[in-house]
């Protein structure tokens, strides 16, 4: 074979590995092949350094037998080139040299040689030498891979390591620990004291105490603490340290693992925040408040002092959500929370035992409900002063996206231990007091009294009775006639729901309709009202032989829920009523707060052929200019405006503006609550089309309205006065 060529032995399964023999002497290569193949190696040959590099790339040998003196590229340069390549970095290289000087040997090792052998070679022991080198190389490779895996695992686990020798105060730190401490390349703490400097100052003493425990006989310590890295970053680490002893029991060294648990702690804090704090306001939530209240009521210092719970319920938040959207409602809640916190000053000693930093314990319980814990009050009357300050602050106008909004608050107060000696009792009774304040005109704040418990029990009974009322046929409709102002003719009637309780008699809709909405019964009741009113309207049309319109109130929950359109379709189909004779009355807040889906529902209802009216118009707080965007047919002026006309210039101007606006939008205008001739004459001068009220017709059963329809306008007056 030519000196620069490459040859291979016949293919057979290697026992030891593949050897690349590099020598420009063909005889040397042949002798080496024979000796190594007998030893179980597969042999690849190369006649010079350049051919050796090519053969190495092609065959990836396990070991290289490399001559020093060769043309083109000598053994030193070839070895150096192998080491510089990625693949040959760890491959064992045995250099063959006839040179017997120390300088050549040192040069061989400097070039990266694993070992060297002098020529002439002992062919009997060559295979054993290479077998030994290869076995050592493979052991080293396994160790290197194992260390790489360990280092990678430590990197993934953010796990570092340090070892300290007490006698010499020498400290060794792993590479991953240096990364955790963000140390510059080549730097590490030289002693335990230097390492302690990275520990947060308020925990440094405890850190050194744990090491002293190990020196004093304790075998293992675990400690979690904060560090400030060399770059100024604050991290949380968990340390597990152990002591190693000699035969006499003396501590020879302390070893410790350090794990970076910063992300874990941050995740735990986030979970804790989500569990204990309200995301919108940042205030403690119901769970946080309840646990704090339990701790305080167990503390004798507070059981003997005056402690109270104040329940704050924002009024009209639902109207804001319905008219301006939930984003505006959320902003209103956020602003309200800031006012509440600022009102309950630190001088009020709010929950000073609740948190170490003495923050006020103001909590958001629900959408529009806040709860305040007051402790160490000078006297019970102090709570009333705080409640008054809160009421005044919340009564100030709110600016939400350029919209001025007014809200009020109903406040209930439960005092320990007069109104309960457990968290559950105090919270329940404060809530009951707030509900009582909401229902009591002119009273925004109420203390809890036992009578409120009775009221709550009565409400529960009423709720049970209401669920049965529809089945038992206790619900009924009254119809109030509506008149054309021009000629006093009856043009329709509004269906008004009544509940004739078997024991309590007639119950006002203002009492049971909100209850029906709250317990989810309003949809079933609303469907019954629609079906009954449509059947009655059809009966009147057949009796009178001319169209007769009936108006039906649709609650906010009905409109915002699902199924209203299907309910209307069923009622019209079941009664065979002309859709033009049905008018659905919706509140101003629902109409003006409708989103795209709800606007689509309005349009779909109107496409059925029925009429849509805005009931109680004028009581909302949205711009009247929005009205042109909605598919409605009529406005009904709220009775609160009609009550003071004529006589009140402000109310007169407002009624005049509503009528003019309605006409400009081609809407029919109906005035509610007309009770005097003067009111009727005033409306007539404005050109208002229709009116309803006690002046010409109070609400009556269907059979009475049938008789009423047969009479004259004068008869209507006499009937109304009877």
- Going along the chain from its start, the domains and CATH numbers come out as 17-152 (3.40.50.2300), 158-266 (3.30.450.20), 281-448 (3.30.70.270), 466-622+696-721 (3.20.20.450)
pLDDT tens for each residue of 629-656: 788 899 999 898 999 999 899 889 989 9
693: buried, middle or exposed (CB in 10 Å: 19+, 13-18, 0-12)?
buried
Q: Please tell me the predicted confidence (pLDDT) of residue 720.
A: 41
Out of 25-39, 285-299, 703-717, which region has the weakest mean confidence (pLDDT)? 703-717
pLDDT over 70 percentage in the chain: 87
More confident residue, 703 or 375: 703
Nearest to 498 by CA among 699, 213, 651: 699
pLDDT tens for each residue of 233-245: 999 998 888 888 8
pLDDT tens for each residue of 348-398: 444 433 343 333 589 998 888 999 998 877 666 677 778 888 888 888 899
User: What band does 345 get if pLDDT is binned at 50, 70 and 90?
Assistant: low
Q: How many residues does the chain have?
A: 722
pLDDT tens for each residue of 471-488: 899 999 999 999 999 999
CA distance 37 to 19: 10
pLDDT tops 90 at residue 582: yes
177: buried, middle or exposed (CB in 10 Å: 19+, 13-18, 0-12)?
buried
More confident residue, 490 or 176: 490
Q: Please tell me the predicted confidence (pLDDT) of residue 14.
A: 44
More confident residue, 123 or 568: 568
| Beta-strand pair 306-314/369-377 | antiparallel
Degrees, nearest 5: CA angle 18-19-23: 155
Out of 153-167, 197-211, 564-578, 696-710, which region has the weakest mean confidence (pLDDT)? 153-167
Contacts of 301 (CB under 8 A, 6+ apart): 353
CA distance 451 to 466: 22
User: What band does 107 get if pLDDT is binned at 50, 70 and 90?
Assistant: confident
pLDDT tops 80 at residue 104: no
What are the distances in angstroms from CA 574 to CA 496, 536, 567, 588, 703?
20, 12, 11, 29, 21
CB 637 within 8 A of CB 661: no
Q: What is the pTM of this model?
A: 0.47
Q: Please tell me the predicted confidence (pLDDT) of residue 274.
A: 80
pLDDT over 90 percentage in the chain: 30
């Amino acid at each position: 074979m030519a000196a620069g060529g490459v040859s291979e032995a016949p293919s057979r399964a290697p026992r030891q590995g593949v050897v690349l023999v590099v020598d420009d002497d063909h005889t040397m290569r042949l002798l080496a092949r024979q000796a190594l193949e007998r030893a179980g190696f597969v042999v690849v040959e190369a006649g010079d350094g350049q051919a050796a590099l090519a053969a190495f790339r092609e065959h990836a040998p396990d070991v290289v037998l490399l001559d020093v003196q060769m043309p083109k590229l000598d053994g030193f340069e070839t070895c150096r080139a192998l080491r510089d390549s990625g693949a040959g970095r760890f491959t064992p290289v045995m250099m063959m040299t006839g040179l017997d000087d120390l300088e050549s040997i040192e040069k061989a090792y400097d070039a990266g040689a694993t070992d060297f052998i002098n020529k002439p070679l002992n062919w009997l022991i060559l295979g054993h030498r290479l077998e030994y080198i290869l076995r050592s190389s493979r052991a080293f490779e396994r160790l290197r891979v194992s260390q790489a895996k360990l280092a990678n695992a430590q990197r993934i686990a953010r796990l570092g390591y340090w070892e300290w020798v007490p006698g010499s105060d020498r400290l060794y730190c792993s590479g991953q620990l240096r990364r955790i401490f963000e140390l510059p390349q080549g730097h590490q703490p030289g002693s335990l004291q230097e390492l302690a400097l990275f520990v947060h100052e308020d925990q440094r003493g405890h850190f050194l105490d744990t090491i002293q425990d190990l020196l004093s006989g304790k075998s293992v310590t675990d400690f979690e603490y904060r560090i400030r890295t060399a770059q100024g970053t604050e991290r949380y680490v968990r340390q597990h340290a152990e002591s190693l002893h000699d035969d006499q029991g003396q501590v020879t060294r302390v070893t410790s693992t350090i794990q970076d648990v910063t992300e874990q702690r941050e995740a735990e804090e986030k979970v804790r925040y989500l569990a204990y704090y309200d995301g919108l306001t940042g205030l403690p939530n119901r769970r946080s408040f309840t646990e704090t209240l339990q701790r305080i009521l167990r503390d004798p210092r507070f059981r003997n002092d005056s402690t109270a719970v104040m329940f704050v319920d924002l009024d009209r938040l639902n109207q804001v959500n319905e008219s301006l959207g939930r984003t505006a409602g959320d902003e209103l809640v956020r602003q309200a929370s800031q006012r509440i916190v600022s009102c309950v000053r630190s001088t009020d000693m709010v929950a000073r035992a609740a948190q170490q930093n003495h923050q006020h314990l103001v909590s958001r319980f629900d959408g529009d409900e806040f709860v305040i814990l007051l402790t160490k009050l000078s006297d019970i009357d102090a709570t009333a002063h705080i409640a008054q300050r809160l009421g005044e602050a919340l009564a100030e106008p709110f600016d939400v996206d350029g919209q001025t909004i007014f809200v009020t608050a109903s406040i209930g107060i439960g005092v320990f231990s007069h109104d309960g000696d457990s968290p559950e009792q105090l919270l329940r009774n404060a809530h009951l007091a707030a509900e009582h304040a909401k229902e009591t005109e002119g009273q925004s704040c109420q203390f809890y009294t036992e009578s409120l418990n009775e009221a709550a029990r009565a409400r529960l009974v009423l709720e049970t009775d209401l669920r049965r009322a529809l089945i038992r046929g206790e619900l009924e409709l009254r119809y109030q006639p509506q008149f054309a102002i021009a000629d006093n003719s009856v043009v329709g009637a509004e269906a008004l729901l009544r509940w004739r309780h078997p024991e309590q008699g007639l119950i006002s809709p203002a009492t049971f309709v909100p209850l029906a909405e709250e317990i989810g019964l309003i949809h079933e009741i609303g469907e019954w009202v629609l079906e009954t009113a449509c059947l009655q309207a059809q009966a009147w049309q057949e009796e009178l032989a001319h169209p007769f319109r009936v108006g039906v109130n649709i609650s906010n929950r009905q409109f915002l829920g699902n199924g209203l359109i299907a309910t209307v379709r069923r009622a019209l189909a079941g009664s065979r009523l002309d859709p033009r004779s049905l008018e659905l009355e919706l509140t101003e807040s629902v109409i003006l707060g409708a989103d795209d889906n709800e606007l689509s529902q309005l349009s779909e209802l109107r496409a059925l052929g029925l009429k849509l009216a805005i009931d109680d118009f004028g009581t909302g707080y949205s711009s009247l200019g929005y009205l042109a965007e909605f598919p409605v047919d009529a406005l009904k002026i709220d009775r609160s405006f009609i009550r003071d006309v004529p006589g009140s210039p402000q109310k007169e101007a407002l009624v005049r503006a509503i009528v003019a606006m309605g006409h400009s939008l081609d809407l029919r205008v109906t005035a509610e609550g007309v009770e005097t001739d003067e009111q009727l004459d005033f409306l007539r001068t404005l050109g208002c089309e229709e009116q309803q009220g006690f002046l010409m017709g109070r609400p009556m059963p269907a059979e009475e309205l049938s008789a009423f329809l047969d009479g004259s306008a004068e008869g209507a007056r006499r009937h109304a006065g009877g």
